[in-house]
Structure 1
Amino acid sequence: MQAFDIIAFVHSNDEEDTFLIPSAVRRIPEFSSNDEELISSVVAGTIPSYELEGKLGDCRRAVGIRREALRRITGSSLEGLPFDGFDYASILNQCCELPIGYVQLPVGIAGPLLLDGKHYYVPMATTEGCLVASTNRGCKAIAKSGGAMSVLLRDGMTRAPVVRLPSARRAAELKAFLENPSNFETISVVFNRSSRFAKLQSIHCALAGRNIYIRFSCSTGDAMGMNMVSKGVEYVLDELKKDLLPYSLTSTSSNFCSDKKPAAVNWIEGRGKTVVCEAVIEEEVVKNVLKTNVSTLVELNVIKNLAGSAVAGSLGGFNAHAGNIVSAIFVATGRQDLAQILESSHCITMMEAVNDGQNLHVSVTMPSIEVGTVGGGTQLASQAACLDLLGVKGGSETPGENSKRLAAVVAGAVLAGELSLISALATGQLVKCHLKYNRSTKDTCKF
């Protein structure tokens, strides 16, 4: 029978909640005399901490030794950081280096999200009270109005190396060569050798003096594809250097990609999946579920999301809180590069009255959703379970279908979140609901 520890949590209003936590999660590892020697060596610096997994061949033991060495070095107890209950071998050489434990995050469920005729229950990992409840309300409004529809406009991951030529003229010559349609097939053959899933789609170049920035775009199957496209880029650059003209490679990535940064090139040309998701919300649903009216939502969307973001000089941020939903789904489903939340959250939310002003047409356009269903953290047990819940776990029979479906679900959930938050702002419910879900007060919330 599994043992539990009773943990008490005291709120700011002096009310107390108790929780049962599996004892194994909180158990401090025990050490043998051999372990003590290793711990002392790590503390003294004679054995690098990063060598423990390789030396021991036991990932759990390596983590315990590293953790204890850190505790002795820093004086921190690390008591609140769980140790047991995690498969450390599953992250070796692919997800996280120098592990000392893991962080627990609650996963909530929003839905069903009726999208493209199918119901999805969307997993969201978050510590922000109200987020899941609000998204869930948006899902309810969409479902009661017949569901949402999505369309994929583009699917291509990018990588842009920077190459320095002897002169600006030579850089311009290389640009002309790379962008000449008659040369594309030859370049594609070289690029596509790098992977059975990589398919070069386009090449777009920009110059700054004698530096040329080459933005390669390719399809990557069900993988997010950064490593795949980078490998293909190296194949092409090696071939160019050998057969065309000498150059010095400054960097495999030049920020013209643009990865993990808000950038106009992603907002305009897209990166990863470009998805539009829309729904028509019936007047009665707006009134009874969202607790507001169509004209108020349309006006507030213009003033807040469009004009407000313009006043702020926003880049890709013409929305209420797309990043909230994107980040929660990314964490739950094992996105390897969480910083890609930045460009993946680019979104413009549109609302307008239709059918003689009775119903609300709402849409989100997201040009750079960067998702994958294979690789990175998608193979970890918890994240794989969330992907399986959505029906997009692993690679699909038709390469790319699972990752495209996941991108559509992200956009659909953002649509739901936008509907609910704008409605909460329109009715003055935002602060009250956050106080309820974030401060544990007894206030009521209409979500």
Structure 2
Amino acid sequence: MPKLNLNRVKHCPLFSDAERYEKVPTALEPNYTESKHKLCPSAGLTEKHLARRWQVLESMTNKDVLLDSFTLGHYHEYANNIEHFIGTVNIPVGVAGPLRINGLHANNDYLIPLATTEAALVASYNRGAKLITAAGGVSTLLINEGVSRTPVFSFPSLSQAAQFVSWVVTQYDIFRQVAESTTQHGKLKDINVNLEGNHVYLVFEYLTGDACGQNMVTIATHKIFHHILDFSPVSPIDAFLEGNLSGDKKANAHTLRSVRGKKVSADITIPASLVKKHLGTTPDSMVKFGKMNTVGGLLSGSIGINAHYANALSALYIACGQDAACVAESAIGITRFDLDSNGDLYASVTLPNIMVGTVGGGTGLPTQKACLDILGLHGNGKAKALAEVVAALCLAGELSIVGAFCADHFSRAHQKLARKKYA
């Protein structure tokens, strides 16, 4: 390696250490020696394979912590949710509420289970819920639904891509029959065509009933995909089931205006007296904070504007058996504060990508079902209500955290609740 001139290295910690720099060639080389760790993979979940995996792991950690008596008594229930199973992780669950929701689908006072290891989180959402309930409840409205999968096709030229598109637009009814032959609950809602040079992206959008539906739409679109390959009058050079237009597990600007999962708006008008009582600040201060932070979000390149949707989403998703990775797309949206003519606070949130279900996935696992039961939202016919609860919860969190910043309580709350005190 060339000799390192430390006088020229100012901003890279790695290369400011000459001794560490000298180790780079050998440290980063491929290593082809056989691993000393040999686990026992298996597609299914059997007691035999579980025991064999723990033969490797038991010297590394306390088996009884991950494979406690409850988990061992219910391990067979996890068979459709995980591979190479070794146990469960216990996450603390708190409850916030009651949160009064006046929605088209969610209309009740809800106690909301939240799973988190972040101190102050449940307390913050509980404070927002108390404020909302004191103000008569939050209005919620599910606006749109749809989950998509987006295959992509490549052709030799733009001309042939255009011929392919002219055929695709005549096939909607056939595609719908093909898709719906794979599911009792999914319905093909729409097809959108995006032509980019000699590439064609097809957006298949579905209604998925009370399931979150990601596996459902993947299986349905896979069958359409192969129908297209078999019957298209123009053969693609390359084709892939996903072309990255779906927004699956990633923040994206497109769905800010459309939908992925369920799109919900929620709003409330809160008297200034209640803002002062519960948050220790004023509507005027919260509106000013919102305006300045909107500019800050634009400067940072944020998709949408919100304070911390991800906190509510991750805690609720984990507690209630949702796909936690979907927080990536669910946590975009718009929070807005305004003053009304009386000087009271108008607050609203719009979340276009709430990915939740009340059947399937992890919703039937023992502790996750228990959390949905607290909400009264496990099973068929409950997914739309759950989406409205999610939006209401996010609004509660926005009110609480913005109020904390405006009253200069944010740091104090975390210092009080998140710092352990030792005798």
**Alignment TM-score, normalising by the size of structure 2:** 0.85
Aligned 8 A contact 2:43 2:83 in 1: no
Which of residues 173, 189, 194 is equivalent to 1:185?
173
Q: Distance in 2 between matches of 1:210 and 1:248?
A: 10
Cα deviation, residue 205, structure 1: 2.0
Amino acid at match of 2:221: V
Query: What is aligned with 1:360?
Result: 345
Structure 1 unmatched runs, 5+: 1-41, 397-401, 443-447
Q: Distance in 2 between matches of 1:273 and 1:311?
A: 28
Which of residues 15, 23, 40 is equivalent to 1:49?
40
Cα deviation digits, residues 46-74 of structure 1 (max 9, x gap): xx6014966xx42xx543431231244xx
Cα deviation, residue 267, structure 1: 1.6
Q: Distance in 2 between matches of 1:226 and 1:52?
A: 20
Query: What is aligned with 2:28?
Result: none
Q: Distance in 1 between matches of 2:183 and 2:58?
A: 44
Which of residues 201, 225, 249 is equivalent to 1:237?
225
Count the aligned residue pairs.
380
The answer to whether 1:432 aligns with 2:421 is no
Which of residues 271, 279, 292 is equivalent to 1:303?
292
Structure 1 residues 435, 68: closer, same or farther in 2, change over 3 A?
farther
The answer to whether 1:418 aligns with 2:398 is yes
Query: What is aligned with 1:135?
Result: 125
Query: What is aligned with 2:87?
Result: 101
The answer to whether 1:280 aligns with 2:269 is yes
The answer to whether 1:323 aligns with 2:310 is yes
Cα deviation digits, residues 7-34 of structure 1 (max 9, x gap): xxxxxxxxxxxxxxxxxxxxxxxxxxxx
Aligned 8 A contact 2:141 2:264 in 1: yes
Cα deviation digits, residues 241-281 of structure 1 (max 9, x gap): 33332235532112111101111122222211000011111
Query: What is aligned with 1:150?
Result: 140
Q: Secondary structure at the match of 1:174?
A: helix
Aligned 8 A contact 1:43 1:70 in 2: no
Cα deviation, residue 322, structure 1: 0.6
Query: What is aligned with 1:200?
Result: 188
Aligned 8 A contact 2:44 2:83 in 1: no
Cα deviation, residue 287, structure 1: 0.8
Amino acid at match of 1:255: N
The answer to whether 1:347 aligns with 2:333 is yes
Structure 1 residues 137, 91: closer, same or farther in 2, change over 3 A?
same
Amino acid at match of 1:225: G
Q: Distance in 1 between matches of 2:263 and 2:40?
A: 42
Query: What is aligned with 2:283?
Result: 294
Aligned 8 A contact 1:275 1:367 in 2: yes
Cα deviation digits, residues 337-389 of structure 1 (max 9, x gap): 321101011121001011332x1110000011111111111111000011111
Q: Distance in 1 between matches of 2:140 and 2:270?
A: 15
Q: Distance in 2 between matches of 1:122 and 1:254?
A: 37
Q: Distance in 1 between matches of 2:166 and 2:50?
A: 53
Aligned 8 A contact 1:435 1:441 in 2: no
Amino acid at match of 2:264: V
Aligned pairs for 1:29-44 (under 5 A) are none
Q: Secondary structure at the match of 2:141?
A: strand
Cα deviation digits, residues 268-303 of structure 1 (max 9, x gap): 222110000111111111010111111001110111
% identical equivalent positions: 34
Q: Secondary structure at the match of 1:289?
A: helix
Aligned 8 A contact 1:371 1:406 in 2: yes
Amino acid at match of 2:370: A
Which of residues 219, 223, 232 is equivalent to 2:211?
223
Q: Distance in 2 between matches of 1:242 and 1:216?
A: 18
Query: What is aligned with 1:379?
Result: 364
Structure 1 residues 254, 44: closer, same or farther in 2, change over 3 A?
closer
Query: What is aligned with 1:403?
Result: 383
Q: Distance in 1 between matches of 2:345 and 2:222?
A: 49
Cα deviation, residue 163, structure 1: 1.6
Q: Secondary structure at the match of 1:221?
A: coil
Q: Distance in 2 between matches of 1:345 and 1:263?
A: 10
Q: Distance in 2 between matches of 1:348 and 1:266?
A: 12
Aligned 8 A contact 1:274 1:369 in 2: yes
Aligned 8 A contact 2:54 2:86 in 1: yes
Amino acid at match of 1:299: K
Aligned 8 A contact 2:167 2:232 in 1: no
Query: What is aligned with 1:20?
Result: none
Cα deviation, residue 106, structure 1: 0.7
Structure 1 residues 206, 135: closer, same or farther in 2, change over 3 A?
same
Q: Distance in 2 between matches of 1:429 and 1:343?
A: 30
Question: Bigger shift: 194-203 or 119-128?
Answer: 194-203
* TM superposition outliers: structure 1 runs of 4+ over 3 Å: 42-45, 51-54, 78-81
Structure 2 unmatched runs, 5+: 1-34
Cα deviation, residue 201, structure 1: 1.2
**Alignment TM-score, normalising by the size of structure 1:** 0.81
Aligned pairs for 1:16-35 (under 5 A) are none
